[in-house]
Structure 1
Amino acid sequence: MVRGGERLGRWIEANPIVILTLAALLTVASIHYAQTITMETEIETFVDADSRLYVEFSHLYNDRFGTQSIVVLVEGDSVTTPGSLKAMERLTRQMEAVDYVLGTVSLAEMVMEVEAEATGIRRVPDSQARIDEILEELERTNPAALKAILPDRRHTIIPIDLPTYIPMASLEAILPEARSAVAMADFPAGADTIVTGEIALGDEIEREMNASMTNLLLISGLLMIVALILVFRHVSLPLLPLPVVFLGIIWTFGMMGFLQVPLTMVSMAAFPILIGIGIDYAIQFQNRIEEEFQRGGSISKAAIETVARIAPAVLIALIITGAGFFSLFSSSVPMVRDFGLLCLIGIIMCYLSSLFVGVTVIHLMERGRNERNSRNGAVRKERRSPITPIIVSYVSLILSRWRAVLGAAVLLSLVGLYADTHVPIETDLYEFIPQDLPPLIQFRHLHDIFGGEDRLNIIVQGDVVDPSTLRWMDQFGEYVVGSRDQVHGASSLATLVKGYHGGTIPHERSEVVAVLEELPEQAKYQYVDGHDTAQIILDIGDAFKNLGQVGVERLMNEVDKDLQWFEHPPGISVTQTGDMVVMNTVIGALTTGRIRMTLLGLVLIFSILLLIYRDLGKAVLPVLPMFMVIGWMGGVMYISGMTYNPMTATLGALILGVGSEYAILTMERFYEEKEKTEDAMEALSIATGSIGAAIFASGLTTIFGFSALIASPFPMTSSFGTITVLSVIFALFATFTVFPVLLIRLEYWRRHKAVAIFRGSNLLPFMLIRRFKE
């Protein structure tokens, strides 16, 4: 590998114009393709498009029955006055004329319906006394429907229903149109309006994600500058790694657009991570050039030697880091796999940027400076990082107390691994959103008044207009509500038909068809599609908040058992699906798959190292300290009360990928120095003195880069930032504490083993002779 690296180094040294021209062309192309990146928050980011879960959700439920709503909340002292009801009627009439709007439900519509039955004129009464009389009648005859939109006389809602298949561009146009319609409806004083609901919340989340990513990159860059000035100022160009890594990030954006990798709530956190990891590559190359140049000779020779020695070592570290990210591909959640793919693309781009552009720029700038110094007679001063002697002394101290260090590290790791099994899992999706986001505050205000709207959806296929099928749906709904405390209500095609047929189900199929033909489309949309597909909706309130992910999963399993036990008519099939089923499955996959991803990462890294080094000791050494770090982090999360979420579930793979790099670079330099001396302690001292400052600098800049995530307004990203910062600190600590002990003990064990074999081989002839004489 060294010979190949030397040839590459000579090519880089000889072709700076070619390299910089290609880099410029790649940058221009990247800027072009970066503009094609799409932001995705749809179901495809959570569920594989070819999975049974997706097919059932998308084609059985979403395409036929899926609805979403823009909700207008009206509150105050005047929500039931004639003026307010007339404003509601103006609002609903305007919105029902908008494309894709399925219909609206409002208090005004209910009042006008009763008025039409009584007087033959469909209007909002001008008398408050008449309105109060109608509301009292509705409380007697249809209390559930009235309470759903008028829980008290100070609050009411107007849901504007839309199909879930609506194109995003159309949805983005309807939301401002709804806000405009509310303003034009001219609600009277004392009736305040808020446009809220999941659509309004989702729109604001997407805007916040875009702004957040820009801010995170800016903060990350500023923190990097501080870190480089603090710990990398012993080199000539201490801030050069930053533009080099940002060039790699630009190329990463370009590859995202070219490969059509979407940006999601999880993957947007990859960029500060890539800055933190990628800057390490630039630092390692620059630090080695500086070291080689200070030994004497030309900058060209220093550049060639750097590429020959560092390019293979950093490439191995990249492969190992990539193996950690590759383990994320085992996740069943597409956005986690996209996060892993984005990280893989990013570290490759940052490596190429550091190797070709970084080395070329340093070579050109130092050569120009050398020529000026030669003309002026100036002598280049040798520089050394002030942190170097501290690191060397610290490692020496650790090695003198290696038993206590290793014992404490192992014990804390084992305790942490056990504590990790008791770290809770955050399943409330709204906890992942900025808590001070106005639409979220409004959305929660809506929930506080009207309660949760979580549902379990059961799709019924077959001859759904047959009276026997309707009776089964009706009886099943009553059974589930009566037997499951968590199910608060059930509605279906059967309840819809009963409501329009005097409270009974017709005896003949033709009568059912006749009733359906008389029903308005808005009423039928959620319950029937043609004559072969219908839906049962089970109201489970605010299930995720009250039951948690495990409780919701248990309830879904119980409902599945009920469906099997409560035998349906011949020719009928039933499927449980819907938003709740999908989100519960996804949350479970995100949070419980972390152990599998971590174990896969361990196996991949060990296998790759074994393949590269063909040495069991070298394959195991870099993995052991990082495995300990995983245990330490489990203990910290348990003690501090942290929780796992969809992003922190990737923590194990991240620690393995990032932390192993420090150990590999240290090990590579140790064995490089060991080729020059037989004394393992001396080799370790030289290695830590040479590369320790660079590892510390890259570790600190990585920590600063990850710290930008803490500033994210998204709690999920912020907590991920906190945990990753602690993880990198522990990884850095393990590299200078646990790893040197393991490295030296392995060499001592090998030496004693070699001595024992040598002695045994020398004594063997004498033992054979003695045995022969006996």
Structure 2
Amino acid sequence: MSAVDRVVGAVTSHTRIAIAVMVLLTLAIGAGAGAVEQESSLGQFQSDTPELKASNYIDGNFTTGSENATSVQVIVRGDNVLSKSSLIEMLEYQQRLRADSRVSGSLINESAEQPPTVGVPNVLAQRAIFEQTNRTLTRTDSAIQRGIQTAATDTETPTRAVFDQLNSSTPIRLGDTDYGQFEAAVQAFRNATSQQERAQIAADAADEMLAEEWQALRSGSGSGEVSLDRQIQALERLNATQIDGLIGRTLDPEQNPRADQALGFMPTGGYYEPGSNTADATVILVTQQTDSPAVGGGTATQEITDAQLAMQEVADDTEGELSMVIFGSGIITDEINQSMTDSMTIVGPLALLFVLIALAVGYRDLLDIILGVVGIFAVLIWTFGFMGWLGIDFNQIFIAVPVLLIGLSIDYAIHIFMRHREERFEMGNGDLRGSMKVALSGVGIALALVTATTVIGFMSNLISPLPPIQDFGVVSSFGILAAFLIFGVLTPALKIEIDGFLENRGFDRKKRAIGTGGGRLSDGLKIGSIGAKRSAYVVIAIALVVSALGAYGATQVDTSFSNEDFLADDPPDWLKDLPEPFAPGDYRTKQNLEFVNERFQREDSQADILIRGDVAADGSLDRIKAAQTEAATSNVTLKLSGGQASVQTPLTVINETLAGTNGNSEFREVVTAADTDGDGIPEENLTRVYDALFEVNPQSAGNVLYRTESGAYEAARINVGIKGTASGSETTSEMRAVATSIEDGSELRAVATGQTILFEIVQDQLLDTVIESLLITLVAIIAFLMIVYRVTDGSATLGFVTLLPVVLSVAWILGTMYLVGIPFNVLTGMITSLTVGLGVAYSIHISERYNQELDRHESAWEALDRSVTGTGGALLGSAATTVGGFGTLAFALLPALQQFGIITGLTIIYAFLASVLVLPSLLIVWTRFVGPSEKLDVESTASQTTEVPTDD
């Protein structure tokens, strides 16, 4: 007795023990299911690359804003967002954000160097306040000078009286210290010997008395330190004409050399003309901060997510002429998580419903349907329990796992149940346990081979450098093993016990298997065997031609990895009309993303060039300048509304500091002294230049330079804003070229990094995974099948023949992906190994059944007919349920899942067609050259056999 017979005999003879053991295992393994957590970060797909290390280095050593901070964009749209009422409405919205307890706790402290909310209305209001304050100080300054002159020339009026009168007529209150300076200036004015000297004394005294006010005005301009109430008041005092003039003086580079600050909030790409007083969109930047580091990969912590959702609620509740939408990592995280939940809520019941319908049509037996469903739930419990025990998180691609296992579980159930029915009904083996033993023995080897080859296919994903794909391979493989055990032990044992119980009470449990009762179904399944009889070589030739065309299309399939792959389109109305809890939520981030990409600079659409080495060595800034110019002229670099490139380097920060209010004469002297050739770029003594830069502008300096605790400068950073519409491949190529130009002929090392580049690397690794997993799967399964068939049947070539239709179906499915425009992504990228892993099951069942029937019949043709009608019928049922299960993924909200469901369904169809149409011809050719060729000379007696009566 073989090992298979002993195991099968134990299961069928000791059914109650088998049931008890499997139930206990289900409870033990399933206990881990509660520990499964959900993870949606795209950062989980990143592997350990130099670019990722560079990104982590930047995050850890450069001051990219406040610590643990993240930014969210409020996209504001309206007829004219620059009208007075619109500007005030935006400021009032900012007030509501700061007053809302759900939001305020996540905002950075208002005392920070950057305000928690800032946009064009803030810049305009502060410019208005600056101009008004400047006019006030200028008038006060002139009044003080006149007062000094009056007090000095009018000797009859006490100086104090003149000062008091001056103080009462100016908007700025002067104190006792100011009076002391005023009195000293009056005396000096009287003692002066010339008019020029007197004027200088009065001017110096006025400047000294207002020194604090002038300093506060200069240092506070545009810093966001002015309260929102005061900003609103400043704009309310202006009429429409004054607002238009203010916009021109602020947003027109010809009138304002520092217009870049405000233009950064305006649309790019020609959607806004700098200086124009009309625009249909703008952006408000909100900066949030948490106690823990910000999450990478485009996702956010729960605290940030909740706050951004609250921001959207505040915006939706705002009554005004503007519409506002929140675009940030928290909103993206929430929509991805929500779409995962909604997809499972919709797809899960649909998949189960379809399976139930398919089983009802195929089984026509309520008990068998219930046993199948119980088995499915047991498989899912084992799988999720396994994930919990191993600490594997449920991510986007794991939504496909339940559907996959449902389809495979039904495959196992159909093959066992149909073979059991064949034995009891067609073969006349009425013994319940005996017929199940024959069914398990006959199908068991095929199922074991199917399980092994499918596991090999999925485990090939372990070669992928992407951790989630590795996890997917491990979890799917375990789920397949669980399905094999549950439907090979638990379900047959339950069926024996329940059928026995019912038959002892007079119920007839004998049912006909699918495809064995003659009629159109049987005739349809025989098409492959008929083709093999008439001209096997023609069938094989046609299949090869079609496969060659598919192979060409396979070379043209694109690869994709981006946020858009995981963002759901807004669901159709009929889905929204579903009753709770099936009705999905609203999804608008993908549409908003397209708008932002087209018109604004996304906070996450940036590239960095990390420069390491002695960045303070003589001539380093000349190299950085050359790289800056190259980056600025790149086609992928974002051009702001003013036309300037969005590029920040140590040199741009130095120049901005020289031009801005933070600059001072000492810093200018240091920079000028280091610029030996007068080209505006410091060439030597860069350590002193950098030190001076940190003294006057530490925040911006820390954004582009890394200074160690010992004071050495070991790294610099070039930050490049990337167009939202730029492709990942072009961005990576352009930025790597910039990095290479820095390294050429120098001791500096440069690495191009950033989210766009990291995603492009993942995309390349996806393509590598597709190719490598396919090759590994094919080689491993061919070797496995050839060894198994050599040992069990004495013919290794049968293993090769069995896999050949699957290879053909791989070419068919890849060609289809090219024709319908479906790219390789984190889900469809596994389609090659999945096609082989799932498709080989159909071929194995046909080959194994054919091999068994050859021993039972004198004619190979009769053996082929029996195989394609008996096993082919079970394959048709399993294919229908699997295709239907995966087809329900077309109703998922995630585009990647929809594509995966469609292409996997087609994979099953192609695998089935290859096994019943092409494989029969291959088996006949194999029989002619390797197998018992003498059986090809014996005519089939199928037509002479007595027709088996159909049951009602």
Cα distance change, pair 620–78 in 1 and its aligned pair in 2 (3 A): closer
Q: CA deviation at 1:538?
A: 1.7
Is 1:267–1:336's contact at 8 Å kept on the other side of the alignment? no
Is the contact made by 1:267 and 1:338 (CA closer than 8 Å) also made in structure 2? Answer: no
2:606 is matched with 455
Between 495-504 and 662-671, report the one with greater CA deviation: 495-504
2:634 and 2:734 in contact (8 A); partners too: no
Aligned in 2, Cα 1:142/1:514: closer, same or farther, shift over 3 Å?
A: same
CA deviation digits over 1:122-152, x for unaligned, max 9? Answer: 4421323455444322222223322211345
In structure 2, what is the equivalent of residue 232 of structure 1?
363
Aligned counterpart in structure 2 of residue 83 of structure 1, from 82, 85, 88? 88
* Equivalent residue number for residue 127 of structure 1: 237
1:26, 1:450 → 2: CA distance? 56
Alignment correspondent of 1:174? 304
Q: Which moved more, 1:289-298 or 1:218-227?
A: 289-298
Instruction: Decide which moves more: 494-503 or 182-191.
Output: 182-191
Do structure 1's residue 98 and structure 2's residue 85 form an aligned pair? no
Post-superposition Cα deviations, 1:628-679, rounded to whole Å, max 9, x if no partner, equal 1122223333334443333222222111111111111222222222223343
1:680 is matched with 860
* CA displacement, residues 580-637 of structure 1 (integer Å, 9 cap, x when unaligned): 2110111122135422221221111101112222233122012110111122223333
- Alignment map for 1:395-474 (pairs within 5 Å): 395-401=528-534, 402-426=536-560, 429-436=563-570, 437-450=587-600, 454-462=605-613, 469-470=620-621, 472-474=623-625
Matched ranges for 1:644-723 at <5 A: 644-723=824-903
State the shift of 1:91 in Å.
5.8
Instruction: Choose the corresponding residue for 1:617, options 783, 797, 821.
Output: 797
CA contact (8 A) 1:196 1:442 kept: yes
The 10-residue stretch of structure 1 (697-706 or 323-332) with the greater mean CA deviation from structure 2: 323-332
Q: CA deviation at 1:340?
A: 1.5
Distance 2:286 2:511 in 1: 72
The answer to whether the 8 Å contact 2:636/2:722 transfers is no
- Aligned counterpart for 1:56 among listed residues 54, 57, 61: 54
What aligned pairs does 1:524-603 form with structure 2 within 5 A after superposition? 526-531=703-708, 532=713, 533-542=715-724, 545-546=725-726, 548-565=727-744, 572-603=748-779
Q: Give distance in 1, aligned partners of 2:784 and 2:454.
A: 11
Query: How far does residue 551 in structure 1 lie from its aligned partner after superposition?
Result: 2.6
Q: Which amino acid aligns with 1:98?
A: S
Gaps of 5+ in 1: 756-774
Tell me how far apart the structure 2 counterparts of residues 278 and 526 of structure 1 sit (CA, whole Å). 55
* Separation (CA, whole Å) in 2 of partners of 1:611 and 1:751: 17
CA shift, 1:407, in A, is: 1.6
Letter in 2 for 1:457: D
Residue 262 (structure 1) aligned to one of 384, 393, 398: 393
Give 1:62 deviation, angstroms: 6.5
Query: Deviations 1:131-178 (Å, cap 9, x if unpaired)?
Result: 544432222222332221134544322222357932699832234334
- State which drifts further: 282-291 or 728-737: 282-291
Residues 706-730 of structure 1 deviation map (CA, whole Å, 9 limit, x = unaligned): 1111111212111121111112111
Q: CA deviation at 1:421?
A: 1.5
Paired position in structure 2 for 1:325: 458
Which secondary structure does the structure 2 equivalent of 1:537 belong to? strand
Q: Do the aligned residues in 2 keep the contact of 1:84 with 1:188 (CA within 8 Å)? A: no
TM superposition shift of 1:354: 0.5
The residue identity in structure 2 corresponding to 1:637 is M
Please state whether the residue corresponding to 2:893 is helix, strand or coil. Answer: coil
Counterpart AA for 2:32? Y
- Which position in structure 1 is the counterpart of 2:514? 385
Shift of 1:321: 1.0
* One-letter identity of the residue aligned with 1:512: Y
Q: Residue in 1 aligned with 2:293? A: 165
Question: Quick one: distance in 2 between partners of 1:78 and 1:414?
Answer: 58
CA contact (8 A) 1:277 1:702 kept: yes
- Inter-partner Cα distance in structure 1 for 2:697 and 2:805: 68
Q: Which runs of 5+ in 2 are unaligned?
A: 134-216, 221-225, 273-278, 571-586, 640-644, 661-667, 675-684, 936-952
Q: Which amino acid letter does the alignment assign opposite residue 610 of structure 2?
A: I
Contact 1:9 1:307 survives alignment (8 Å): yes
Q: Tell me if structure 1 keeps the 8 A contact 2:446–2:848.
A: yes
Alignment size in residue pairs:
742
Structure-1 separation of matches of 2:752 and 2:508: 78
CA–CA separation in structure 1 for the residues paired with 2:844 and 2:37: 36
Distance 1:585 1:6, change over 3 A: same
Aligned to 1:746: 926
Of the three residues 137, 143, 163, the one matched with 2:249 is 137
CA pair 88-492 structure 1, distance change in 2 beyond 3 A: farther
Letter in 2 for 1:155: A
Post-superposition shift, 1:425?
A: 3.8
Partners of 2:559 and 2:539 lie apart in 1 by 32
**TM-score, normalized by length of structure 2?**
0.72
Contact 1:322 1:657 in 2 (8 A): yes
Deviations 1:189-237 (A, max 9, x none): 2233222234312221111112212322211111111111222337962
Q: 1:470 to 1:39 in 2, by over 3 A?
A: farther
Which residue among 396, 402, 408 is the counterpart of 1:277? 408
1:64-119 CA distances to partner (integer Å, 9 max, x unpaired)? 46664221223334555363354265367666763667854323442355356542
In 1, distance between residues paired with 2:61 and 2:843?
Answer: 52
Q: Could you say if the C-alpha distance between residues 179 and 7 of structure 1 is closer, same or farther in structure 2, counting changes exceeding 3 Å?
A: closer
| Matched residue type, 2:53 | V
Q: Aligned in 2, Cα 1:215/1:380: closer, same or farther, shift over 3 Å?
A: closer
- Indicate the structure (1 or 2) with the bigger Cα radius of gyration: 2
Partner of 1:772: none
Quote the offset at 1:272 in angstroms.
0.8
Q: Deviations over 1:354-380 (max 9, x none)?
A: 11211111010111122112xxxx766
* Preserved CA contact (<8 Å) 1:70 1:196: yes
* Cα offset, 1:327, TM superposition: 2.0
**Which residue of the partner structure matches residue 496 of structure 1?**
653
Structure 1 Cα separation of the partners of residues 634 and 331 of structure 2: 36
Identity rate, percent: 22
Which secondary structure does the structure 1 equivalent of 2:804 belong to? helix
Matched residue SS, 2:930: helix
User: For residues 14 and 677 of structure 1, do their structure 2 counterparts lie closer, same or farther at Cα, with a shift above 3 Å needed?
Assistant: closer
Shift of the 639–4 alpha-carbon distance from structure 1 to 2, 3 Å rule, reads: same
- Matching residue's letter, 1:149: F
Change beyond 3 A, Cα 1:165–1:534: farther
Report the Cα distance in structure 1 between the residues aligned to 2:287 and 2:538, rounded to whole angstroms: 66
Shift of 1:681: 2.1
Counterparts of 1:487 and 1:653, CA distance in 2? 40
Deviation at 1:305, TM superposition (A): 2.8
Q: Quick one: distance in 2 between partners of 1:269 and 1:207?
A: 16
- Contact 1:234–1:384, Cα closer than 8 Å, also in 2: no
In 2, Cα distance between equivalents of 1:510 and 1:381: 93
Query: Cα–Cα, structure 1 residues 112 and 372, in superposed 2: closer, same or farther, change >3 Å?
Result: same
Corresponding residue SS for 2:648: strand
**Residue aligning to 2:44:** 45
Checking the alignment, whether the CA contact within 8 Å between 2:74 and 2:284 is kept in structure 1 is: yes
- For 2:890, the aligned partner's letter is I
Residues 578 and 234 (structure 1), Cα distance of their counterparts in 2 relative to 1, 3 Å cut:
same
Deviations 1:393-419 (A, max 9, x none): 434422223232222111111121112
Conserved 8 A contact 1:3-1:308: no
Given the two structures, how large is their TM-score scaled by the length of structure 1?
0.87
2:120 to 92, 102, 107: 107
Quote the Cα distance in structure 1 between the aligned partners of 2:383 and 2:495.
22
What is the rounded CA distance, in whole Å, between the counterparts of 2:293 and 2:635 in structure 1? 32
Asked if the contact 1:388–1:689 (Cα under 8 Å) also holds between the matched residues in 2, the reply is no
Give the 3 Å change call, closer, same or farther, for CA 197–181 of structure 1 in structure 2: closer
Q: Is the 2:883–2:905 Cα contact (8 Å) retained in structure 1? A: yes
1:87–1:187 contact (8 Å) kept in structure 2 = no
* Farther off after superposition, 524-533 or 240-249: 524-533
